[in-house]
Structure 1
Amino acid sequence: MKARYKTLVDNLAQAIRSGTLAAGTRLPTHRFLAAEEHISLATATRVYTELEAMGLVSGETGRGTFVRDISLPAGHGVDQHVIATDVTDLNFNYPALPGQGELLREALRQMATTGDIESHLRYQPHAGRLTDREIIARHLAGNGFTPEAENVLIVNGAQHGLTVTVMGLLRPGDVVAVDALTYSGFKALAALYHLELVAIPSHPDGPDLDALRQLCARRHVRAVYTMPTLHNPLGWVLDRNQRKTLAEIARVHDLLIIEDTAYAYLVQRPPPPVAFYAPERTVYVTGFSKNVATGLRVGTVICPAQHRPAIERAIRSTTWNTPSLMTTLVCGWIENGTVSRFEALKRRDARQRQVVAKECLGTLTCITHPVSYFLWLPLAEDVRAERVVSALMDSNISVSSAAPFCTSVNVPQALRLALGSVSIEVLRTTLHKVRETIEFEQYR
């Protein structure tokens, strides 16, 4: 049974996160809390100590305990990412391979000495040049999926692809069904555009599609956001039947499907994308940040022809066009096999990192995929994720709690660890520290 003080901590933490207790609110004194909740003074003090360790409150000598401003919590997805140089980052993934810098240098030399260099100084079509779109369409084709180049739109990374999709096709107040744990960047985008996210409960192997069907019968759901191939953060890969079922539900209830495949390249032979089963209503979003390099900011939106004008208008409104210099570089690497080579090397690298994680984390429960660059760590019932996050930050290790990924009312006590941003040696040492910290919290 959960200790009484843990329940109080969870209730107060939820009130603070939801805004019921606003930033700056003065909390009851320790004595008043003890009397009101029929607990000892020592237990009341422990409640506030826990909240302070979680970064939710601060105590001021002679004044009391106050709710902190958590409107931009550290590590909250795309809201902020400021990592000091001495901090080991297991919060964000930016996997890189040895020698990529020299390949970039050589590619830039070739671009400088061949072709129409001055063309890169001019505006390009909003969706990108058709020749580049044809190259990307061929690269993404396979397993029955054959996108038409005219429906391939080049954007500034997958996050921009999600943004222009939301801007072009959804309206404030629209209801979007999402997994109960989903990509934090889409959560941030939904908040910015005032979308209502409704959580789909999850099974170990994917979303509860019966629950989605029931949700659509009760609510006017406009769209569903899905990551069917290497879900972030849970790592599942939906099978063909699950993808077909999702497409059928979307047809029956006239849903727009937003399919995010940013990490799909890590799975060597996945089932066809959802866009294959429902091409008339699926917007397929991917990028070249994870499989090539995060700094290049080249991504792709593949959409039904009827949605292309609206998404192109959103591209024009946000960035006019993706810089052709970056697009040319990526397309050159697609054509000479460099992108495929990067993908193969990163699949092997991710698999190795998962082996290291399993060794270092020992008996701790991990939810992940054998070739994923991240993993999900559920914590024991009495362990508070924010306390673990804070303790690790004291050791200069940055990790994320479940809060940035959670779309349901109750935030699970869990950590999401990104494995792809440090060397294998540093990863090994850091994961040992993560395990020690969690075990200390379990038995303290």
Structure 2
Amino acid sequence: MTIQFAISEDDATPFYLRLADAIERAIVEGALKPGDKLPPQRDIAFDLKVTVGTIGRAYQIARERGLTTGEVGRGTYVRLAEAPEDKAPQQSFPSRSIADSIPSVRSEDVKLDSTSAPMVGQAAAVAAVFAAVLKDSSQKALDYVRGVPTTWLDAGAAWLATGGWAPEPGNVVPTLGVNAAIQGIIASATHPGDRIVFEELSYAAVARAATMIGRMPLTVAADEEGMLPEELDRCAARQHPRMIFLMPAVNNPTGRCMSLRRREEIVSVARRHNLLIVEDNIYGKITPSDIPPIASLAPERTFFVSGLSKSVAAGLRVGWAACPRGQSVRVTVAHNHLTGGRPYLNMEVAARLVLSGEAERIRQAVIAEIAARAALFDEIFAVETVGQARAVPYRWVSLPSPWTSPAFQLAARNHGIRIDGEDEYQSVRGDRSHHSVRIGISAVEERQTLATALQTLKGLIDSGSISYVSVA
């Protein structure tokens, strides 16, 4: 069998990694099917004019990614879906870009690459609850967590409630933040080699972490409402993923919101192909909506997650996951194995903040503060943000030609401002460039500092990259 591998011409990446990527693409795109035999290593080494050792390393990486199987004397084959052999975690090798040359973090940098909750005086309230927990439950606060209090589950159910829906407390899992919740879900509900679908632009940290435990990210095109159902249907029919990751309330980084009709269409495709859904609502807590979550439309297959980092205090590191019936124990076990477990002190403080109403008071103050900062952004960038978008703690800014995202990110850093380029939100390497950056507006402590930084960024945009390059 003759296979022509499409090997990228990227001199910065070792040839054996590029060949391993080409093998993966051939399998994903169907050029290689389960059970197909790969060419002998000596033959392909001769054809590609490289050493047998180079080919051997590429084949070994393909095996580690769960793509192939083989043994001495038999050859290497594309793994069958039902093959029982364990698959080792897939390794992630991030692509290099101009942004890789950005200098390390400086303490004086203005950090517009974060969207943590702004400071609205919540420190005193949080400190008081910490002191009360240490006074009331000092032994539990300093020990391992031995059992989950029902108040933690009640608090989670209350905090996750949205759009007229609320989970049953018995289906809620308290977690060490939202990202830990998502990874616990992926580890418990999928297997090495399974594919997970992401929007073309999404919170790529989820995909990168999933790759480290052997899952394969795929991306599907999106429009102004999010993932396109027909593209998801096509992807599911051809590549048979196991799970979808979505941020319907507010996509990170684009800020778009998915309509009820689009959510219903996504659910229809998910049911047709038996796909699980992870619905991340972390930004939904500061952009409340009457649209019911996907979890209410497809409770049998949806894991719904949220937390306190964007709406109360990021440092608490507390989140919750609402699971389909019967899945909470598996998610709890996976989460604890991946994270080492939940700290009693943080979880108890979070539960008391929620159940006392203090978290809600802080959330409302956070929404008001972000709206004030949004007005600053609108004034400086001469745009108008309306509706719930005013409470989104970042802006996705399209750059005028000839700016590129990595170049603008580097220019901003050279002016002491940290922002996120589009590479941060690409779950897989793609051919399309969006020439956009994400600018956070919530994490900087003072509004005046934010205003000065935004004025600098607007000046860079208006001056053009040629002006920047001439002084770089």
Same fold (TM over 0.5): yes
Contact kept? 1:365, 1:378, Cα under 8 Å: no
Choose the corresponding residue for 2:299, options 279, 283, 287. 279
The alpha-carbon distance between structure 1 residues 193 and 284, as it changes in their structure 2 partners (threshold 3 A), is same
For the residues of structure 2 that align with 1:216 and 1:19, how far apart are their CA atoms? 32
Match of residue 424 from structure 1: 447
Deviation at 1:22, TM superposition (A): 8.7
Shift of 1:74: 9.6
Amino acid at match of 2:462: E
CA distance 1:130–1:304, shift in 2 (3 Å): same
Provide the aligned length of Structure 1 versus Structure 2. 381
Q: Write the letter of the residue equivalent to 1:95.
A: A
Counterpart mapping for 1:149-298 below 5 A: 149-298=169-318
Contact 1:15 1:21 in 2 (8 A): no
Are residues 142 and 394 of structure 1, via their aligned partners in 2, closer, same or farther at CA, if it must alter by over 3 Å? Answer: closer
In 2, the alpha carbon distance for the partners of 1:148 and 1:226 equals 22
Q: Is the 8 A contact 1:230 1:237 kept in 2?
A: yes
2 CA distance for matches of 1:307 and 1:75?
A: 40
Per the normalisation by structure 1, the TM-score is 0.79
Q: Which moved more, 1:152-161 or 1:304-313?
A: 304-313
User: What whole-Å deviation, never above 9, does each CA across 1:64-118 have from its counterpart, x for those lacking one?
Assistant: xxxxx97687989xxx99632110011112223232222122212322333x432
1:147 matched to which residue of 2?
167
Deviation at 1:18, TM superposition (A): 6.8
CA–CA distance in 2 between the matches of 1:390 and 1:231? 24
C-alpha offsets along residues 119-166 of structure 1, whole Å, 9 cap, x if unaligned?
23333257x322311222133234331311111001100011111111
Task: Call closer, same or farther: CA 1:161–1:193 in 2, change over 3 Å.
Answer: same
% identical equivalent positions: 22
| SS of equivalent residue, structure 1 residue 145 | coil
Q: 1:119 and 2:140 equivalent?
A: yes
Q: Secondary structure at the match of 2:303?
A: strand
- Report what 1:304 is aligned to: 324
Alignment-derived partner of residue 378 in structure 1: 398
RMSD: 3.0
In the TM superposition, residue 364 of structure 1 has moved relative to its aligned partner by 11
Distance 1:312 1:229 in 2: 25
Give yes or no for contact 1:380–1:442 (8 Å, CA) kept in 2. Answer: no
Deviations 1:328-383 (A, max 9, x none): 111111122111111111111222222211211237999x9222001111122422
Output aligned runs, 1:337-356, within 5 Å: 337-356=357-376
Give me the whole-angstrom Cα distance separating, in 2, the residues matched to 1:319 and 1:435. Answer: 41
| Residue 20 to residue 439, structure 1, CA distance change in 2 (3 Å) | farther
2:132 paired residue number: 110
* TM-score, length-scaled by structure 2: 0.74
Other-structure match for 2:53: none
**Do the aligned residues in 2 keep the contact of 1:75 with 1:399 (CA within 8 Å)?**
no
What amino acid is the match of 1:139?
W
C-alpha offsets along residues 53-72 of structure 1, whole Å, 9 cap, x if unaligned? xxxxxxxxxxxxxxxx9768
Q: Secondary structure at 1:228's aligned position in 2?
A: coil
Partner in structure 1 of residue 34 of structure 2: none
Q: Which moved more, 1:432-441 or 1:252-261?
A: 432-441
Q: Given the alignment, which residue of 114, 119, 130 partners 1:97?
A: 119
Amino acid at match of 1:124: V
Pairing partner for 1:15 from 3, 10, 16:
10
Q: Quote the Cα distance in structure 1 between the aligned partners of 2:452 and 2:349.
A: 36
Q: Output the CA distance in 2 between the equivalents of 1:331 and 1:14.
A: 53
Structure 1 SS opposite 2:271 = helix
What is the distance in 1 between the residues matched to 2:385 and 2:413?
A: 22
Give secondary structure in 1 for the equivalent of 2:352: helix
Q: Does 1:87 align with 2:109?
A: yes
Q: Which secondary structure state, in structure 1, belongs to the residue aligned with residue 296 of structure 2?
A: helix
Partner of 1:4: none
* Aligned partner of residue 209 in structure 2, secondary structure: helix
Q: Any idea what SS the aligned residue of 2:188 has?
A: helix
Contact 2:246–2:280 at 8 Å: present in 1 too? Answer: yes
1:439 aligns with 2:462: yes
Which moved further from structure 2: 137-146 or 221-230?
137-146
Q: Which residue identity does 1:122 align to in structure 2?
A: D
Aligned equivalents of 1:347, 1:17: Cα separation in 2: 44
Q: Does structure 1 retain, via aligned residues, the 8 Å contact 2:151–2:351? A: no
Which residue does 1:313 correspond to in 2?
A: 333
Measured at CA, do residues 166 and 17 of structure 1 come closer, stay the same or move farther in structure 2, by a change above 3 Å? farther
Task: Give the whole-Å Cα distance in 2 for the aligned partners of 1:170 and 1:161.
Answer: 14
SS at match of 1:264: coil
Contact 1:403 1:411 in 2 (8 A): no
Partner of 1:131: 151
Amino acid at match of 2:131: R
- Deviation of 1:211 after TM superposition, in Å, equals 1.3
Are the structure 2 counterparts of residues 360 and 299 from structure 1 closer, same or farther at C-alpha, using a change threshold of 3 Å?
same
- The separation in 2 between residues aligned to 1:369 and 1:400, in whole angstroms, is 19
Cα distance in 2 for partners of 1:104, 1:435 equals 36
Q: Is the 8 A contact 1:389 1:401 kept in 2?
A: yes
Instruction: Find out whether 1:324 has 2:324 as its counterpart.
Output: no
> Which consecutive unaligned segments of at least 5 residues does structure 1 have?
1-12, 24-68
Shift of 1:386: 1.4
Deviations 1:149-200 (A, max 9, x none): 1110011000111111111112222111111000132132133223222221
Q: Which amino acid aligns with 2:142?
A: L
Q: Cα deviation per residue 1:207-261 (whole Å; 9 max; x = unaligned)?
A: 2122112222222021110000111111112121111111111111100101111
- Please state whether the residue corresponding to 2:442 is helix, strand or coil: coil
Residues in 1 aligned to 2:154 and 2:322: alpha-carbon distance in whole angstroms: 12
Distance 2:158 2:385 in 1: 40
